[in-house]
Amino acid sequence: MPTRGAFIVIEGLDRSGKSTQAAKLKEKLAADGVKVELMKFPDRTTAIGKMIDAYLRTNIEMDDHVVHLLYSANRWELASRISTLLSEGTTIICDRYAFSGIAFSASKVASTSAAPTSASSISASTSSSSPAALPSTSTSQSSALAPTSSTPASATSIAQTPLLPYAWCRAPDIGLPAPDVTLFFDIAPEAARARGGYGEERYEREDVQRRVMEVYARLGAEMEAARPGSWVRVDAARAWEEVDAARAIEEVADAVWAVVGPLVKGGGIEGEVVRLWEGALA
């Protein structure tokens, strides 16, 4: 049976080390002779991506629905390229994907708390859920894949009402190429805040990141429940892996390779590319 490239997505909070690990993984795959391409969303080089970049870096105000659809459209701009590269045998590493768009949009809130968390002041709020809500990892994997604890959402959330329904946020991405594996980098928002460059864009606030984590937890559980077997491409590995991103860079890199290595060593993935939530629109 013809084989194709693997589609690997790396997700997590801002400043969790995703970009560093994506670059390291690309280098390792290339050194092993694997055809590989690294993508990042939003892709700020496209026409839509430039609009997103301006929104993130300035005080430009847009309706929340428009912002979400721009992010989704940015992914659809490259959907055909992703499918083509995979079919040609190129492995794709993606730094953020549809899960980020859903997590940041579905966690926008109209807040009655003292903190300024309205859509007009942040245009994208989110929260952190307990990683325990995500599937646990195999005990045979590296310790860097072990779940970690985080602050309960109740400690930071006060009478917050979502502005955009989860199902609505998910709908525009139904049918996009689905990753063969998604690595979720788990890091407490307060730890991410301590890293350099935090706070340069409007999403990078600790309360926002906490709400984002709640939606990530829901997405992770949903991915595991919805695609048993067909979503998981490697033995004893899950489609949604937790990585303790607060660990040393090399230790996290080893944990990433423990998941990705078996996926690519067989010479490619058999079968067609699966589509995200295809047939699941409710």
Sequence spans of domains, the chain: 3-270
At 143-189, the pLDDT tens digits run 444 433 343 444 344 347 889 999 999 999 999 999 999 998 887 76
Range among 108-112, 131-135, 240-244, 259-263 with highest mean pLDDT value: 259-263
pLDDT digits (tens, 9 = 90+) for 174-187: 999 999 999 988 87
Residue type at 230 in one-letter notation: S
pLDDT digits (tens, 9 = 90+) for 268-281: 899 899 899 876 54
CATH topology of domain 3-270: Rossmann fold (3.40.50)
User: What is the share, in percent, of the chain residues with pLDDT greater than 90?
Assistant: 42
Q: Choose the weakest-confidence range: 8-17, 63-72, 202-211, 221-230.
A: 221-230
DSSP string, 132-144: GGSPPPPTTS-GG
DSSP H stretches of helix in the chain: 18-31, 47-57, 64-77, 79-87, 98-106, 119-122, 166-170, 189-193, 206-226, 249-264
Say how far apart CA 79 and CA 132 lie, in whole Å.
32
Q: What is the pLDDT of residue 121?
A: 32
pLDDT at 138 over 70: no
Per-residue pLDDT band at 241 (split at 50, 70, 90): low
Tokens of 6: 């693997």
Using CA atoms, how far apart are residues 212 and 108, in angstroms rounded to an integer?
Answer: 9
- The pLDDT assigned to 50 comes to 94
- Tokens representing 165? 């329904």
Using 50, 70 and 90 to split pLDDT, how confident is the model at 111?
Answer: low
**pTM assigned to the model:** 0.75
Q: Phi and psi dihedrals of 104, rounded to 5?
A: -75, -35
Mean pLDDT of the chain: 75
